[in-house]
Chains A and B, each alone.
Chain A
Amino acid sequence: MKRRDFVRTMGAFSLGGLLPSPTVPYRLLPSLLVPMDDSQTDHLKAYGLTYRVIGAGLKAEWLLNYQGGAFLLPDGDAIRRDAALNGVRAEPVDAGRVTAIRGDIESNNMDAVPLEKAPKVAVYAPPNAAPWDDAVTMALQYAGIPFTKIWDPEVLNGRLKDFDWLHLHHEDFTGQYSKFFLIYSGMPWLADMVQRNSDTARRLGFQTVPDLKKAVARGIHDYVANGGFLFAMCTATETIDLALAAGSTDIAATFADGTPMDPDADAKMDWSQSFAFTGAHLEPNPLVATFSDIDGHQVNAGPRRQPLGAFKLFNFSAKIDPVPTMLVQDHRQVIPDFYGLTTSFVRSRLKPGVTVLADEEGAPWVKYVHGDLGKGTWTFFGGHDPEDPQHQIGDPPTDLSLHPHSPGYRLILNNVLFPAAKKRELKT
């Protein structure tokens, strides 16, 4: 059973009431409760602790909506030591307390989801990318969750099947170097990016970088369709959909592939191929570092730039919609917004069926969305760095040890643990 079936199955059972509640085997042995409300001393490292527990072959549970999305771990010296070293609050609870917790979960909008298999994590990033370039890499490093960096050759050589979870960050899948080509002309980092991408395209048999990136986007699309979990942030969200919808249409400016964008590109986009978006209009000006009207904030589009507000996480029914519930577990429901090359997603550009996980009330955009594709799922989260709202190129990196309670980073780590959730058995 693939992951998407797991999602469906969970929903079906909860709706039908076919399983005894709570729907996971009771843990009556002494346990450690890792609260995730304001009493937690390091929210981000708590995910790492849980990941290592299940990575060691032990079973854990994610108590959705209970104390901010707490974790229930088996008790043991090694786990206590790990928690102490990492400053994670973990409270020993006896069988009686566990029973009481389950009672609470049963009678409220809560659920207990077993976590069994530590997902194998891949981060799509160029080989020379610094660890601080990307919020997810930072979160994984800080939490102590191992990951493998992959790039275009690995995607095109079929390596994605070795991983359960793939993260994309600020890659520009339209192959236009985030449209910094003209604005940052002459900067060494840009020259290196262009050189590296051009070399890779040639080596892999593509005439242009946009062609290469489209093929990579297609590879990632297939990975999800075959059961993979995709989490994307910042400009990767928008550009992967543009690359997929473009197909053979030229949507890249002359500097990227030697030919101008097809003047009828808008009309030729095939949105049936994309993950999340539909009907977007492309930005034709190569000097404006924005790609389309998918992004609500248009941070680099001069007068079109919108100010930052705050986004609000939605409440879902834990027993009926466990997947979105997992993705929005947090100790804060309203979170200050943060810019990225793609900051948010305009509502009218979302495909029907996309689940909105967070939005800015009253604004025409949403922040955090989720959906299914084939046997897999994807989640898109706008913005670059939750703790650096105005992030600019050249800014100092974020030090997560100063933000151990970051609610924005928690959302990233929810996605990392989500693939660890055990699919429930179908009893019909």
Chain B
Amino acid sequence: MPRSLRAPSATLAFSILLGLQAAPLVGQAIGQGFELERAGRYADAAAVYLTTLRTDPANLPALLGLERVLPQLSRLAELLPLVQRARERVPENGTLRGLELRVWAQMNEPDSLEAAARRWAATSPRSDAPYREWALALADRRGFDEARRVLLLGRRALGGSPATLAIELAELEQRVENWEGAAREWGHAVAVLADLLPNASSQLAETPVPQRARVVAALTSADAAPRARRLAAEVLLGWGQATEAWRLFEQSIAGPPSPEIASALRRFADLAGAVSTPAGHRVRGLALSRWAELVPSPLAERARAEAVRELIDGGDRVAARAALERLAADSLAPADAKSMAEAALLQVLIADGQLDAAERRLDAESNLLGGDDRAALRLQLARARVARGELDRADAVLENDSSVAGIAQRGWIALYRGDLAGAIAAFRGAGPFAGSRESATDRTAMVALLMAVKGDENRELGTALLALARGDSLGATQGLRRVAGQLPPGSGRVEVLLLAGQIAARLGGAAQEATAAQVFQEIVSAGDTGAAPPTAELEWARLLVRQGRPAEAVQHLEHLILTYPGSAVVPEARREMERARGAIPRS
């Protein structure tokens, strides 16, 4: 771990003290000093440290103790001759040299500080320590420009390699909020030492948004090293810019395979795991696929199977198929990897609309799949059949499915056939929690609608809802209005109309919006009781807001709030009213 310019020198000194206090003879006395220091009795602590130095002039813990306590007593000047005397005894001790520099800096003697640092550099011409300690002493006194000058001076004196003192320069630039400069220096540092990548990446992750583009540009300039590009990729990934991160990362791993590239791919995949967007899944899948090519079995097969899942979640079916083909061709693949791959392949087939092929494969290879995977895939297949209007085949797919999700899906199929009683029974059987929150809410809302409609059968309602499930919203709206027209008041007419209005409003376009407004008006003016009128008025107001008519929307919302104070939509109506009035930001 590189020494940080941010680490206060006293902390460092304290660590050294702890490390050295085990020495038996001096330990007791130093321990006393430490206890006194801890108790805030600085003068007494200083006396103990000074006593120790009388018998052992180069005692480092005592000198460092004095560095901590004498400034509190405004007696720092006493420390300098003690440090110089100790340094003369052990001139090769870097800690003493560093202490001398810090004392000069604290005494605000820049010329003496420089002279001492140059003397040290002359005795250790190949060491970067004199420049680092010199810069640290200056930076601790907020002399950032001088610290930078010293570090650059050291870099030149030590041969001019950009990597020399790059970590120190990077941390200094960060300290003065020059993130672009920090990035450039981290780029130099990682170019020679790959192990620094995690530290550099976590430091640069804190870059404020306005400076991020410049940080990336600094790391990806024409002459940037591959590792600097990799650093840029990691930083971008941390900011959630997965696709751009992968583009840079790919450039950085060009060349023959190596353990470093394998480890970089694994790290990139792990980091991408924290990005939950589709792009994050996709790049994780891509990284795992590439990693799989560099590692032995069974790691490779497991990685490929995981990659397929990620690529599907990321919407990249082409890459997913490619990975699947490699996996299928691999006779060494372990069973769990094969199972994962089979499930992924079936997902791809269903998503591509190859339902017959998916069904055949699901029957033939079902022994490869786990129970949960099999049930989930059957459900997907049934939904895909419904979307094509193939209700009988959807039913057949679910024939032996007794899961709650399967029961719920059978409820929808019954509903689309017009079997309202069967649908209600199935939805109730599935309960209110099966599937996702959204699907559970949809089911509950539908039960409420069907109970309002009354009657065991209504084929036209089923047909209209099937049209909706198949994506024919226009047909669904027309069908639902027709159904509503046939229902007597108090028998679900306004509820069905509300659904028609909501679908029309979602469709957008002048004609559909006019239809929606007409439907909402009809519901509100009917003066019915129940949940439909306030919901319709809220939807109406939202439509008006979208049409740029906020004043009219506010009128409706006020009417809603005052007329139906007990309605569950009142809080939403208030929020919509605030938005329409411009009192809260649009989100």
Contacts and interface: CB of A to CB of B under 8 A. Distances in A.
B584 A392 contact: no
Interface in B124-182: 142, 144, 174-178
A187 B175 contact: no
Contacts of B174: 302
Interface of B: 6, 142, 144, 174-178, 208-211, 558, 561-562, 565, 570-571, 574-575, 577-578, 582-585, 587
Contacts of B587: 396, 399
Contacts, number: 68
Contacts of A401: 574-575, 578, 584
Contact of B583 (A144, A285, A396, A398): A144
A287 B178 CA distance: 8
B561 A85 contact: yes
18 contacts: A84-B561, A85-B561, A85-B562, A87-B571, A142-B583, A144-B583, A184-B211, A284-B142, A285-B144, A287-B144, A302-B176, A392-B208, A393-B208, A393-B209, A393-B210, A394-B210, A401-B578, A401-B584
Interface in A376-428: 392-394, 396-401
Interface of A: 81, 84-87, 131-132, 141-142, 144, 183-184, 187, 284-285, 287-289, 300, 302-303, 392-394, 396-401
Contact of B6 (A132, A187, A302, A397): A302
Given A84-B561, A302-B177, 4 more contacts: A184-B211, A187-B210, A288-B177, A399-B587
B353 to A, nearest CB: 39
Contacts of A85: 558, 561-562, 574, 577
B561 A132 contact: no
Contacts of B211: 183-184
B129 to A, nearest CB: 22
A216 to B, nearest CB: 27
Given A302-B175, A303-B6, A397-B585, A142 B578 contact: yes
A419 to B, nearest CB: 22
A141 B578 CA distance: 9
B209 A399 contact: no
A393 B571 CA distance: 31
Nearest to B209: A394
A303 B175 contact: yes
Given A86-B574, A144-B583, A401-B574, A287 B176 contact: yes
A46 to B, nearest CB: 14
Given A85-B561, A393-B209, A394-B209, A285 B142 contact: yes
Nearest to B558: A85
B238 to A, nearest CB: 16
A86 B554 CA distance: 12
B176 A285 contact: yes
A87 B175 contact: no
Contacts of A284: 142
Contacts of B577: 85
Query: Which one of A87, A398, A400 has the greatest number of beta carbons of chain B within 10 Å?
Result: A87
Contacts of A86: 574
Given A84-B561, A87-B571, A142 B584 contact: yes
Contact of B562 (A84, A187, A288): A84
A61 B571 CA distance: 28
Query: Which one of B144, B575, B578, B582 has the greatest number of beta carbons of chain A within 10 Å?
Result: B578
A303 B140 CA distance: 11
A300 B584 contact: no
Contact of B565 (A84, A289, A303, A397): A84
A289 B210 contact: no
